[in-house]
Amino acid sequence: MNPSKRALGIDEYGLIGDMSSAALVGTDGSIDWCCMPRFDSPSVFAAILDAKSGGRFRISPADAQASARQAYLKDTNILETTFRTGAGVLRVTDFMPVGEDEQRANAPHEIHRLVRCESGEVVARCHFEPRLNYARGTTTLRGLREGVHARGEGQALSLLASVPLNVADDHASAEFRLAQGQEATFVLAYGHGKPQRLSAYRARDKLEYTRRHWRRVVSNVEYSGFWSEAVTRSLLTLHLMMYRRTGAIVAAPTTSLPETLGGSRNWDYRFAWLRDSSFTVDILYRLGDEDEGDHYISWLLDQCRLNERKTRIVYGVSPNSSLDERTLDHLSGYAGSRPVRIGNGAARHLQLDVFGEVILSIHSMHRLKGAIPSGAWGLVSTLAETVMGNWRRKDRGVWEVRGEQRHFVYSKAMCWAALDRAADIALAVGNGRMAKRWSRAAGRIRSEILHSGWSRAKQGFRQRYDGEALDASNLMIPFLGLLPPDDPRILLNVQAIERELADGPLVWRYLPSETDDGLDGQREGAFTLLSFWLIGNLIYTGQIERAEAYFEQMTSHANHLGLFSEMIDSKTGDFLGNYPQAYSHVGLIHTARNLSRALLGQPIHRGAD
């Protein structure tokens, strides 16, 4: 099989995972990205970042003219790619088995690929080309009785197959013919242990267990509004970004998918940002997914223990995760976009907003469950006191700029939210003295924001105190309750952002020409989450018809599986940035809930919607 193929767009991939790691499966049947055994482990396939040397695992018809259709098995994260050829129909079912118990045991770290001829007769091909450790060093293959074993750079994995494989030094391949009703099975197993016989991997049993697991997740969802399919798919996607063992939630399962083609805005998102994770856990509680919400809060309390000297903005999924930022210069990058980065230097940034977002998630838990864990009050108190001592400082803002620190309005608004909600929690636990102290400080922050953060010239909230540039992150302000819903500044702010930073429902974060972000100055894609925040502002200001029209436009931007990346190219509609993005799907769920309520004449909720 010739491994060369047309480069796929980001939107042409589906995601499978086991709540430990994940893999991107292209509409051409190729797994072009996978890290094992964890999200932040080195890749074993990385063709999406370098088509020539990154490595892939492809199963598809030999007929190059075959058409393909990809869909998830209903209410699951099991992916089916159906190929139609002139001779017949071939279906490839891809999944990663989850752990077979309720004690959050390790996933088995396997990818199962079940190939079945649905009609006619189809010649299929397999091309297995692992490149371990981000394709650094050499990956060697040796034949097994039922497959092949790959080893290199401290990693090892085995491919077991029900058809014979031809094994070379650095790849294995097969060509096989299936008639209607016939099947072939492929199981990729990570680890240095001796591979078992193919039958021992129980592919059909694990398929059934995995199917039941995902449908159990869906059955627990408490949602009865419009766009239920999109909400369900978004929730299932969020589950694919949860690290089952600890409760951490990654921002995305990929690294270095570019925000601008050919630019340098390429970051590693395979870590747990407190900001993104806190908004995610809020929606888990709102949808009744309390087990995963509680699991995250437990992880959060562990990461932010009171004896820690400093709360960080981002953590690895496990205590031994490394966030040291490095570049992989041997990889050419997606569509030639370099550098390819692993790790993330933002871990060292001061970003004052995260304290507010963490307290908001605990406040949400308290409001929806009526109580919080005993350790949570200690964390709230510590973070509130941190805000008390630091809210006057400059920081790098929600977008983690790599230029100078500034007084970013969004950061100040989140400092206000931190103390406002902390005071509310303090009253609930019977500490009126601290509640009063934090409320007074919150009032001072609010007064400063309204005085120094409002631009009379732009009639909107500034990005930072010392300039007139706008920033779409300030679309969050009405959701926080900083201003009452009928305050005219809410409408004026959204109108200003629409004038300067929006094209219909698509919204840019800021204008690089007006923002010292320390990068290349190129204009990036529209930020998907901000589109949903814009729609939320339209809902808050009573523009329900526009909100519904924009929401329908945004759902049409989702790919064939209902997935969203971090950004969208406003000219082409192509996906940009890491994919799928947890933040984007959180925004969709919040917006669908509030828009449904508005259309049904029900009260809407405050929050990141």
Q: Residues 6 or more apart from 555 whose CB is under 8 A from it?
A: 227, 230, 588
Q: What angle do CA 25, 40, 402 make, to 5 degrees?
A: 105
Using the predicted structure, report yes or no on whether residue 4 has a pLDDT greater than 80: no
The predicted structure's pLDDT at residue 519: 62
**Is the CATH number 1.50.10.10 carried by domain 220-319+337-599?**
yes
- pLDDT single digits (tens) 404-424: 899 999 999 999 999 999 999
**What is the C-alpha to C-alpha distance for residues 198 and 64, in angstroms, rounded to an integer?**
29
Stretch among 157-161, 268-272, 310-314, 425-429 having the lowest mean pLDDT:
310-314
* CA dist., res. 127 & res. 438, Å (int): 61
pLDDT surpasses 90 at 529: yes
Sign of CA pseudo-dihedral 293, 294, 298, 304: positive
Q: pLDDT value at position 608?
A: 42
Distances (CA, A) of 206 to 23, 104, 178, 182, 237: 17, 16, 23, 20, 20
E strand segments, 212-273 = 272-273
Quote the CA–CA distance of 97 and 110 in Å, as a whole number: 7
CA geometry: angle 233, 237, 241, nearest 5 deg? 165
Query: Could you report the per-residue pLDDT of 75-105, keeping only the tens digit for each?
Result: 999 999 999 999 999 999 999 999 776 556 6
* Predicted pLDDT at 311: 72
CATH topology match: 10-195+210-215 vs 220-319+337-599: no
In this structure, whether the domain defined by 10-195+210-215 belongs to CATH 2.70.98.40 is answered with yes
Residue 393 one-letter amino acid? R
Using CA atoms, how far residue 508 sits from 132, 520, 579, 608, in Å, is: 37, 16, 18, 18
For residue 206, give the 3-state DSSP assignment.
helix
In order of 503, 526, 553, 554, the CA distances from 571 in angstroms are 10, 10, 14, 14
In eight-state DSSP terms, residue 395 is B
Q: Are strands 326-327 and 155-161 parallel, antiparallel or unpaired?
A: unpaired
Q: What is the pLDDT of residue 157?
A: 96
- Decide if 239 contacts 210 (C-beta within 8 A): no
Mean pLDDT of the chain: 93
Residue 252 phi/psi, 5-degree rounding, is -165, 160
Which segments of 29-147 does DSSP mark as H helices, in order? 132-135
Determine the Cα–Cα distance for residues 158 and 397; give it in Å rounded to an integer: 44
Position 488 scores a pLDDT of 97
Least confident of 428-437, 510-519, 559-568: 510-519
Reported as a pLDDT band with limits 50, 70 and 90, residue 306 is: very low
**Stretch 566-589: mean pLDDT:** 97
Of the listed ranges 40-44, 299-303, 334-338, 473-477, the one predicted with least confidence: 299-303
Domain ranges of the chain: 10-195+210-215, 220-319+337-599
- Residue at 502: amino acid letter: A
Residue 127 binned pLDDT confidence (cut-offs 50, 70, 90): very high
Q: What is the mean pLDDT of residues 123-133?
A: 98
Question: To which residue do tokens 């040291």 refer?
Answer: 324
Confidence bin at 1 (pLDDT 50/70/90) = very low
Q: Which of 196-205, 273-282, 549-558 has the lowest mean pLDDT?
A: 273-282
Q: Is the pLDDT of residue 504 over 60?
A: yes
Peptide bond into 485 cis (omega under 30): no
- DSSP string computed for 323-391: ---EE-TTS--GGG----EES-GGGG---THHHHHHHHHHHHHHHHHS---HHHHHHHHHHHHHHHHHT
Confidence category of residue 307, pLDDT binned at 50, 70, 90: very low
Per the document, the length of the chain is: 609
Compute the distance between CA of residue 538 and CA of residue 333 in angstroms, rounded to an integer. 38
Kindly report the pTM of this predicted structure: 0.95
